[in-house]
Amino acid sequence: MDHIYRVNKQSETFYAIERGGELRRAVLTGDDIFAGYTQGAVIPGGLQAVKVLAPVLPSKIVCVGRNYKDHALETGKALPAEPLIFIKPRTAVVGPGDAIRLPPGVGRVDHEAEVGVVIGRRAHRVPRAKAWDYILGLTCVNDVTARDLQKKESQFTRCKGFDTFAPIGPCIATGLTGDSRAVEGWVNAERRQSSTTGHLVFPIDQLVEFVTFVMTLEPGDIIATGTPAGIGPIVAGDTVTIKVEGVGELTNPVQEEK
């Protein structure tokens, strides 16, 4: 299993591969990480010597609503008969350590811990049985949501689409499968969300089939698989951490937008 990082060092942005506790520069087989890579030179100092960026810049993030039974229960909503999807724009993406900025006047803003599925090659109408052939790996996603706005509207574009409302990272973990894995959401030192992907209403392979029947997914696009119970407000001064077993931790501070 590799952990693929997108990093910056001395004004240069490049991919790095962590394997066996050692960080090396990725040597790309083609024009980008999705065409393949090999390991290059060791990066002295490892992750402490670089700035970790969002691992991909997706053309879109396709999010899935109410995909955990306990979350549907806490919101008072029925389970959907089929995946409920919406899109976050690319401009919402930030990386590890970047601030989640709270827009003025929007009211309550919540964290939502999620597993993100990173697409590895162009995917159109992929059958469920072949879904993992199109997945590069998994990452952490925080589906930040302006909750008061969400309650006012039937569509999710505005409440989910603000700049900085899609932290992703810290890496893409390859070689994983659809086996159950833990997902947690922490605010400061408090664990607010704790579940596993074994409780997904619609599992990852089914989501790939469903979404790619609707739209083509490009390399680097992300399916955010939904959040478990425990969503809650975040305020300026908080620090939010999303943890996904086998991937790592995504941490972002919260600030008022200036």
pLDDT in tens, 205-233: 999 999 999 999 999 999 999 999 999 99
Contact status, residue 126 vs residue 134, Cβ threshold 8 Å:
yes
Please determine, for residue 79, whether its predicted confidence score (pLDDT) is greater than 90.
no
Closest CA to 160 of 200, 106, 229: 106
Domain range 61-256, its CATH number among 1.10.357.10, 3.90.850.10, 3.20.20.80, 3.40.50.1400: 3.90.850.10
Please determine, for residue 118, whether its predicted confidence score (pLDDT) is greater than 90.
yes
Confidence of residue 69 (pLDDT cuts 50, 70, 90): confident
Q: pTM for this one?
A: 0.97
* The pLDDT of residue 77: 76
Residue % of the chain over a pLDDT of 90: 94
What contacts 241, CB < 8 A, 6 or more positions away? 185, 186, 187, 249, 250, 251, 252
pLDDT in tens, 82-93: 999 999 999 999
Domain coordinates of the chain in residue numbers? 3-52, 61-256
Closest CA to 253 of 88, 143, 95, 46: 95
Which token pair is 205?
A: 């392979």
Handedness of CA 112, 181, 202, 124 (dihedral sign): positive
pLDDT in tens, 145-200: 999 999 999 899 999 999 999 999 999 999 999 999 999 999 999 999 999 999 99
DSSP H or E stretch at residue 12: strand 12-19
| Arithmetic mean of pLDDT over the chain | 96
Cis amide bond preceding 170, omega within 30: yes
Please determine, for residue 23, whether its predicted confidence score (pLDDT) is greater than 80.
yes
